[in-house]
Amino acid sequence: MRLLKKGSLLVSLTALLVFSGCGTSGQPAANQGAQSGGKQEPAKQEANGPSGKLTFYTSQPEDDVSKLVSAFNKKYPDVKVESFRSGTEEVTAKLQAENQAGKVQADVLLLADAVTFEGLKKQNLLASYKSPELAKVPKDLVDPDGAYSGTKVMATVLAVNTQKVKTPPTSWKALAAAESKDAAIMPSPLYSGAAAYNVGVLSRTDGFGWDFFKSLKANNVSVVKGNGAVLNAVAGGEKSYGMVVDYLVAREKAKGSPVELVYPSEGVPVITEPIGILKNAANEKAAQAFVDFVLSEDGQKLASSIGYTPIREGVEAPKGLKSINQFKVISSEISKLAEAREADKKQFTSVFGQ
């Protein structure tokens, strides 16, 4: 297994296309390995199970990808998984560039939120696969056509540095309060799928709207690339408050860092980090086995051991996190969020001047 890092993608689609199609040493190895004379190598299949190469695109942290692939390979040792990871928005941009170039390289995709998958579904880029493991996954967290399924429950919460904040807040309004001026931080929806989902939901929720984001800007809330950078800033004492996915805070707290997570009383946006198979995947058999494993009891126990709240019924949340029925969820219609995502990002850019 090779795990590949991806730096910043170029903003323009033209540059992305050039990058995706080039054969230079700067091209991600996930693409180099997937090509042979400009064509993707056919997957080798064996009667006793899936085999050959599986190309996996994801926004999961590197260590989590390594653990997932390692566990999958214990069950399916004949599958060679080549992973490409970056932020959801950059992975999606890469997919779009590959599609424009005429060949999507990925077999399986696991990204932050359902809105991203809904957009890909509308483009007819996803295959329909209804895993037998879906019987244990809540139906409202699964696409009815089989294009994708949630794999986890990840709430965006308030992270607080306990050395700087003696009384933890109970409301999102803490980010715009006078005492938190210059002291809060959040991820950018231009990079993070979770952040893009949060913007879409909160901007359509009573009591928030775009006025909420304008108040954050007025309070000089910092905007950085991803959730990891937000958590690092709060844990390190650079910032007192952060808007960040819950599992990162729980992990850091378990390490002894001075952080606490708060589920605000108004409710929290929740993403499910869906998984789906690309249409015309080169290794469909291995892709289906990979999806089955992620949704299986073993795969969900692995997710819990890593620190995520599992989506599968009957598998407990890890210490420090709440299950979805233990907090209030703020949501919005997925299809509307998908249609408005680009407009929402433009509006966010207009407010924050990014």
Which residue is associated with the tokens 């991803």? Answer: 226
And the tokens for 94? 């890469």
And the tokens for 98? 């590959």
Q: What does the pLDDT look like over 183-226, one tens digit per residue?
A: 999 999 999 989 999 999 999 999 999 999 999 999 999 999 99
Pairing of strands 52-58, 259-262: unpaired
Main-chain phi, psi angles of 268, to 5 degrees = -135, 145
Confirm if 266 and 328 have CB atoms less than 8 A apart: yes
Please report the pLDDT score of residue 1 as a whole number: 45
Q: What does the pLDDT look like over 26-59, one tens digit per residue?
A: 334 333 333 333 334 444 444 578 999 999 999 9
CA-nearest of 200, 217, 243 to 89 is 200
Please report the pLDDT score of residue 325 as a whole number: 85
Distance CA 197, CA 189 (A): 8
* Mean pLDDT of the 49-72 span: 96
And the tokens for 62? 């590197």
Min mean pLDDT across 26-40, 65-79, 266-280 is at 26-40
As a dihedral over the C-alpha atoms of residue 291, residue 292, residue 296, residue 298, rounded to 10 degrees, the angle is -80
Model confidence band, residue 231 (pLDDT cutoffs 50, 70, 90) = very high
Which residue is associated with the tokens 């997919």? Answer: 95
And the tokens for 152? 């986890």
Please report the pLDDT score of residue 354 as a whole number: 66
Please report the pLDDT score of residue 151 as a whole number: 98
Model confidence band, residue 16 (pLDDT cutoffs 50, 70, 90) = very low
* Mean pLDDT of the 233-262 span: 96
Q: What does the pLDDT look like over 116-129, one tens digit per residue?
A: 999 999 999 999 99
Average of per-residue pLDDT values in the chain: 88
Higher-pLDDT residue of 341 and 44 is 341
